[in-house]
Chains A and B, each alone.
Chain A
Amino acid sequence: MKQDVEEQFLRAYDDLSEPLYRHLYFRVYRRERAQELLQDVFMKTWNYLAAGNQVDNLKAFLYRVANNLAIDESRKKKEHSLDQLLADQPKLEPVSDDGKHPEKQLLIEQIFKVVDEFEEPDRSILVLRYHDDLDPKEIAVVLKISANNVSVRLHRAHERLKIIFNKDDNAREISTID
């Protein structure tokens, strides 16, 4: 039984560590920190299993731990400015000749702008749905809410995204006219 759990756990690491890393990187925007958090995710999950607890859906459990750690991290780092966060990312691509990465910066700014419009748990729902491709049922397990609640929140988020992007389009049109 012990061996089974260990094997399942390491298999989960092999299969899920990359998507979980990407999830964490998206949430914290720093490679090293994302890797540290990923390690925390798996170690905390292992500690839980080693204590004799049973996890029915390991994938959902890992995403739940990752999501919680990411939320904690964003609370801790709330005071950090975007510039600071960008300065912490030496490996971003593509890198322009002058050593900066304007495309990436623009992309992050755009995403930041949109994501910041949402509070938890809607923010997590959007990320899990569109970044991690989890379906509402999986998201429901991760966030411990009902699938119906996830669907309703997603629907509302879509409505809000429409407004946000329409506003952006209008602003762009106005700036073009100017």
Chain B
Amino acid sequence: MHEKFQQLIKRFSGQSVWDAESKQAVRTKLIQHMDAHPIKQRSFWTRLLSNRALAVGLAAIVLIVAGGGTVYACTDAQPGDALFGVRIHVAEPMVLAFTFDDEDKADIELAQTESRLVEWEQLQISGNTEAAEQHQKLFDEKLARLKDRIAKLESQGKNDKALEIAVRAEASISTHEHIVAIDNDEDGDGHAEVNLTSETNGSNSHVSIHSSAEASVKAGDTEVFKDQAQRRIDQASTMIAEVRAYITANANKLNAELKTKAESELDDAQKKLDDAKKALQDSKFSDSIILSANASADAQRVKILVNVAVRTDNAFFDDHQDNHDIDPDKLEEEIRSRVQDKLDKIFDDQDFPGIDDD
């Protein structure tokens, strides 16, 4: 029956002839319009990103790096991990770059600052003094940016948000000082040799973010520590669950030995987490936080190993049976090479007229 419909339409269409004069008149107007609106020259990157196919390709690369399988090795990569550099120089700035609301940016910058703080804390606890000192610089940079963000919120009249961010940041720093103080208080005199330099970074903010060691233990901190302990437990719990799910989802890609080893290490992390929960119930907040931090670190190590094995079909792992022998440089090179392969493929598959014309 659509033939009947087609016939009707064709009869109609046959009568709607456009005369050549009108066609030429519109063409003339069009040329005038084109002259009045010439093609703009755009930067290489703008044009690159305006190409939908390429933008999707680049987004895919970002996802490869910041999401998908490698998410386990990147977005939560820790100092010393091969992908830690990718995390702080690519993934985190990209998240900020694609966030346009100042309040949302503040939340993200706070989360990133807290991450640097926790990482620094773990390095200090592990006794890696040199790495801790290096990491302190990253924290200081983040904190300086956060202070600027708080000042910007205040200048916009968003005082409530500015205060909220400042209070949360201060609570995190205070908790960190307390933990590190306990860890460093080997002689039991109650005084830790901790030097936090965040105050020296300067800030335009009217909201003070205290970071002196003296601020760490004082009345009223109990609720803060309790809250922080619960947050660390939640974080560790989430990480362990994610890694377990990742192992399950990729079980067919892992060799039996690695799978068993990963699950065993994850069980150990779970035990530490259970101890952390118990410590919280017993109001031993500092113990709870340290146990959670250790559980997170264990789970983190497992996920990196599993991820590497999955992405390299175990080949890379087979060469490094002992997980502590993994060479970060080699791992980084491996991942970089794979990302480059994917980029090459995208560029090979696409035709980008004009990109090389400038």
Q: Which residues of A contact B (CB under 8 A)?
A: 1-2, 4-6, 9-10, 13-14, 17-18, 21-22, 25-26, 31, 34-35, 38-39, 42-43, 46-47, 49-54, 56, 92-93, 104, 107-108, 110-111, 114, 126-127, 130-131, 157-158, 161-162, 164-166
Q: What chain B residues lie within 8 Å of A4 (beta carbons)?
A: 353
| Shortest beta-carbon contacts, A-B, top 8 | A52-B42, A162-B1, A1-B357, A130-B6, A25-B16, A21-B18, A161-B1, A1-B354
Whether B2 is near chain A, meaning CB under 8 Å from some CB there, is: yes
Contacts of B13 in A (CB 8 A): 22, 26, 131
Counted as pairs of residues, one from A and one from B, with CB atoms less than 8 Å apart, the total is: 107
List 28 interface pairs A-B (beta carbons < 8 Å), by A numbering. Answer: A2-B38, A4-B353, A5-B39, A6-B39, A10-B31, A14-B27, A17-B18, A17-B26, A21-B16, A22-B13, A26-B12, A35-B26, A38-B26, A39-B29, A39-B30, A42-B26, A42-B30, A46-B30, A49-B39, A51-B40, A52-B41, A54-B353, A104-B15, A108-B12, A110-B8, A111-B8, A158-B2, A165-B1
Contacts of B357 in A (CB 8 A): 1
B22 is an interface residue with CB less than 8 A from chain A = yes
Q: How far is the CA of A107 from the CA of B7 in the complex (A)?
A: 11
Within 8 A of A (CB), among B45-70: 46-47, 50-51, 53
| Residues in chain A near residue B27, CB distance under 8 A | 10, 13-14, 17
How far is A141 from B4 in the complex, measured between Cα atoms in Å? Answer: 26
Which residues of the other chain, B, contact A111 by a CB distance below 8 angstroms?
Answer: 8-9, 12
List 9 additional A-B contacts (Cβ < 8 Å) besides A111-B9, A114-B8: A1-B354, A21-B18, A25-B18, A39-B30, A46-B34, A52-B39, A157-B2, A161-B1, A161-B4
Is the Cβ of B33 less than 8 Å from the Cβ of A54? Answer: no
A26 to chain B minimum Cβ distance, whole angstroms, is 6
Give the Cβ gap from A6 to chain B, nearest Cβ, in Å: 6
**B218 on the interface (CB 8 Å rule)?**
no
Interface on B for A, CB 8 Å cutoff? Answer: 1-2, 4-6, 8-9, 11-13, 15-16, 18, 22-23, 26-27, 29-31, 33-34, 37-42, 46-47, 50-51, 53, 353-354, 357
**Binding site of B, secondary structure by majority: helix, strand, loop or mixed?**
helix
- Is A107 in contact with B11, judged by CB distance below 8 angstroms? yes
B12:A17 contact, CB within 8 angstroms: no
B23 close to A18 (CB less than 8 A): yes
Complex CA distance for A16 and B46, rounded to whole angstroms = 30
Determine how close the nearest CB of chain B comes to the CB of A133; give it in whole angstroms: 9
Shortest Cβ gap from A163 to chain B (Å): 8
Interface of A is mostly: helix
- Enumerate chain A residues within 8 angstroms of B47, measured Cβ to Cβ: 52, 54
Q: How far is the CB of B300 from chain A (nearest CB, A)?
A: 41
Contact for B22 among A2, A14, A35, A110, CB less than 8 A:
A35
| Contact in complex: B4, A50 (CB < 8 Å) | no
A161:B5 contact, CB within 8 angstroms: yes
What separation, in Å, do the CA atoms of A165 and B49 have in the docked complex?
A: 50
Q: How far is the CA of A88 from the CA of B353 in the complex (A)?
A: 45
A38 to B18, CA, bound (A): 11
Residues on the B chain within 8 Å of A26, using CB: 9, 12-13, 16
Contact B353 A1 (CB under 8 A): yes
The distance in angstroms between the C-alpha atoms of A39 and B18, with both chains bound, is: 13
Q: Are B12 and A50 in contact (CB under 8 A)?
A: no
A161 to B8, CA, bound (A): 12
- Of all chain B residues, the one with the shortest Cβ separation from A157 is B2
Q: How far is the CB of B10 from chain A (nearest CB, A)?
A: 8
The smallest C-beta distance from B35 to any residue of chain A, in angstroms, reads: 10
